[in-house]
Structure 1
Amino acid sequence: MNTTFIPKPVVSACAWIADGWSAALPPLAGIAAAVAILLVVSPTYTAKTSFFPPVQSRSSAAAGIFNQLNALSALSGSSGSKTEAEQYVAMLKSRSIADAVVEKFDLGRIYGKKLPEDVREVLAKRTNVSMSSRSELIEVSVDDRDPQRAAKMAAYYIDALTSLLGRVAVTDARQRRVFFERQVDETRAKLASAEKRLRGSGVSPSAAQLDPGAAVGMVAQMNASIAAQEVRLATLRSVTGEANPATLAATSELAALKRRLAEMQAGAKTAAGDEYAGLYRDYKYNSALLELLATQLASARIDEARDGNSLQIVDFATVPQKKSKPHALIVLGTGFAIGIGLSVLAWAVARGAKDGRR
């Protein structure tokens, strides 16, 4: 090694260190410095909590309808969306939850930062949110110099997430409830409008044909009337004969009843009847749709109440008893390695100076 440009005091010190037992001084000094760092630097404690997202409880009927809606949304280009667990991770990292934690524990004062952005940045560095890709177990860990505060902050992340879930539709049951509430409101308004237009249109003479139940009842009643009239006509014919006015009148009445039955079965409609049919059909459609949506809305509300927004906590946050940082072995090992390096460097400098003198 060329030691021409190295000051003589440094060369002398290196020669002294490289001589005999003095070579052990740099490693010992490195260990001493590491111990001093461990004593001076405040320890950091890590508190952890983990949970599973709520299990989706879904009735079979509602599941079928909502699965069809999801399939339609996928066809419309909304594929590739995040899984529910990934959405929970994203919310835990959101500014809303960070601000809630900052305000709850007055972290601006603790971290010595004034700007909210700076406080959130420090909090993000001291908080880790991870998810297991296989089990979807979500873990939240918080680093802090106070073990009590670290545990409280980790636990509060769960509370803040639960509060956020109260206003963000994430669970399947809540999504269905929001969807069906909107559809029920829209359908109820359409039904009221259809009923108003139907009432204003009057009653068509063929209205019974529009209601299957009523139509069947009226046809049955008409057939009964025709049968009774035929019995009456047969009696008159046998008693009074064909030319009797009562028999002729009964014959005319029977013909009228048969014509009316033929009209009912043929479904002949007038223009006014067609308009009434459209209004009636619109009314019945919205009425049936409202009944179906109301049933699904009730099912979604039951499922949402069963979910209860309650996260499935696996590990509750507890006060850590052992510090997580700094790692004593790493600090001591680093100090010792630096000391060894200095000893080797001193030996190389001393050897180079000695060779130069030769």
Structure 2
Amino acid sequence: MFIDIFIVIARYRGRFLGILTVITLISLGIALLWPKTYMSTAKYVQYDSSVSGSLGGLISSFTNLPSGGEKVNTEQSTIILRSRTMLDTVIEEFDLASVYEKEIQEELRLKLEENTIIEEIREAGIGFNPIVSVSVSVLDRDPQRAKEMVEFYLEELDDRMVEINQRNAQRILTAYEARYQQNLTDLETATQELVDFQKTYGILEPQTQTAALIGNAAQVKAQMTALDVEIGVAQSLLSASSGEVTELLERKRQLEKTYNSLIVDPVNATRSPDEVFTDATLDVFPALEDMPTLAAEYLRLFREATVQQEIYKVLLPQYEQQKMMVMESNSGLELIDQPNLPTYKEKPKRAFIVIAGFFFGLFAAFFSVSFADFIRKGKKGEQSEAYQKYQELMSVFQKS
């Protein structure tokens, strides 16, 4: 079998070598004339480079409230790089319609996608692993333009990520600001209501004031009881119209007035129970029978003011930190490798072209000499059946 092949090649060696030489020379010419293409590459990673990031984490650990806003991650950055908007921006920036000699926008995008290589480097392991870094490469006939296109890709990516991050942070800031302003209004209202209540009823410490009122009432009641004993003794020894009995009865009337004022009417509980309470002092402390209702109302107002104050303590640092987040919005991109100015071509691979041309020449030359030998044998009648089918096929083509 192999000897037959070599015999055929030897018989038609001139044709074989001619075809092989011509095709190899053509492939060499193609390799030499093929325009050179250069590739510039840059690589980046993404960090959380927010200045207030540590502060935000500390505040969030205490408040359990979101801060900062949703940020564009590395996965999403590759989506932005491959987006139609990004492609159109690059095409317009570098006038690629004249570079690629195409007018249809869809064809320009396809050509740019072919010349743009975005490679994601992921953590080693099984399954879907996060991206560690991303490399961006651009192929172009002009090495300087390739470098500038990579730089533009990264600058545009950074701007778009900052814009999205800032918009997300601003959205959260708006929510915080609205709640913060509402809290200021509620806090001012609650504080004013508590102050007005205290001015009206004098409630400052319900528990302490109630104890003081009860103590004063008990002292007055004890004095009234002792005075009743004195009045009984005096009436048994003196006439009812005597001055001493009259004085004791007046003292009893004053003590009853004082006691009733403590129980029913507002009085100044800080005064001694022996003092007579005037109208000017009747609006400082409430009566004992009103204390449960007033104490409940005071505690409600005090609780509302306290709640609003605690809300203020939570919202204020979050609100201030969110304003910092908006001002500090950034992409978090850090370049590992700067875009390089290529000095050696990426394409064409001339050696591969010549080798491929050589092997194709071998195949074409062998096919040619094999076919020539087939015709020779057919004419001699050595392959009459196959040669007849060949002649029939050729006659069919000639008739058509």
Q: Does 1:253 align with 2:277?
A: no
Structure 1 residue matching 2:144: 3-state secondary structure = helix
Within 2, Cα distance between the matches of 1:98 and 1:169? Answer: 21
Q: CA deviation at 1:311?
A: 0.3
Maintained 8 Å contact 1:30/1:336:
yes
Aligned residue pairs total: 311
Q: Does 1:353 align with 2:388?
A: no
Corresponding position of 1:220: 208
Within 1, Cα distance between the matches of 2:311 and 2:318? Answer: 11
Q: 1:40 aligns with which of 25, 33, 36?
A: 33
Structure 2 residue matching 1:138: 3-state secondary structure = strand
Corresponding position of 1:85: 74
Corresponding position of 1:182: 174
Within 1, Cα distance between the matches of 2:213 and 2:161? Answer: 66
Within 1, Cα distance between the matches of 2:74 and 2:80? Answer: 10
Counterpart residue type for residue 33 of structure 2 = V
Q: Structure with the greater relative contact order (CA < 8 A, sep ≥ 6): 1 or 2?
A: 1
Q: CA deviation at 1:90?
A: 0.9
Q: CA deviation at 1:319?
A: 1.1
Q: 2:86 aligns with which of 80, 85, 97?
A: 97
Within 1, Cα distance between the matches of 2:174 and 2:105? Answer: 37
Corresponding position of 2:350: 328
CA RMSD of aligned residues (A): 4.1
Structure 1 residue matching 2:137: 3-state secondary structure = strand
Within 2, Cα distance between the matches of 1:178 and 1:284? Answer: 30
Q: CA deviation at 1:190?
A: 4.5
Counterpart residue type for residue 65 of structure 2 = I
Q: CA deviation at 1:331?
A: 0.8
Matches within 5 A, 1:147-296: 147-169=143-165, 175=168, 177-188=169-180, 190=182, 217-227=205-215, 230=218, 244=251, 245-256=253-264, 257-265=287-295, 267=296, 289=311, 292-296=314-318
Structure 2 residue matching 1:132: 3-state secondary structure = strand
Maintained 8 Å contact 1:237/1:247:
no
The Cα offsets for residues 221-279 of structure 1, whole Å up to 9 and x where unpaired, read as 443454456557656876896852232222223324322333344x379xxxx9xx7xx
Structure 1 residue matching 2:119: 3-state secondary structure = strand
Change beyond 3 A, Cα 1:18–1:36: farther
- In structure 2, stretches of 5+ residues that fail to align are 1-7, 124-129, 232-248, 265-286, 381-400
Maintained 8 Å contact 2:180/2:315:
no
Within 2, Cα distance between the matches of 1:299 and 1:204? Answer: 31
Q: 1:23 aligns with which of 16, 28, 45?
A: 16
The Cα offsets for residues 7-45 of structure 1, whole Å up to 9 and x where unpaired, read as xxxxxxxx9995235523333322211221122121111
Maintained 8 Å contact 1:131/1:138:
yes
Q: CA deviation at 1:284?
A: 7.6
Structure 2 residue matching 1:318: 3-state secondary structure = coil
Within 2, Cα distance between the matches of 1:103 and 1:284? Answer: 60
Within 2, Cα distance between the matches of 1:311 and 1:132? Answer: 15
Within 2, Cα distance between the matches of 1:229 and 1:290? Answer: 42
Corresponding position of 2:118: 129
Q: Does 1:311 align with 2:333?
A: yes
Maintained 8 Å contact 1:219/1:261:
no
Within 2, Cα distance between the matches of 1:220 and 1:179? Answer: 48
- In structure 1, stretches of 5+ residues that fail to align are 1-14, 71-81, 209-213
Q: CA deviation at 1:356?
A: 1.6
Counterpart residue type for residue 340 of structure 2 = T
Structure 2 residue matching 1:59: 3-state secondary structure = helix
Q: Does 1:145 align with 2:141?
A: yes
Q: CA deviation at 1:335?
A: 0.6
Within 1, Cα distance between the matches of 2:195 and 2:142? Answer: 84
Maintained 8 Å contact 1:187/1:290:
no
Within 1, Cα distance between the matches of 2:145 and 2:351? Answer: 26
Maintained 8 Å contact 1:49/1:315:
yes
Corresponding position of 2:98: 109
Change beyond 3 A, Cα 1:311–1:83: closer
Within 2, Cα distance between the matches of 1:304 and 1:285? Answer: 28
TM superposition score normalised by structure 1: 0.70
Q: Does 1:120 align with 2:109?
A: yes
Q: CA deviation at 1:160?
A: 0.3
Q: Percent identity?
A: 17
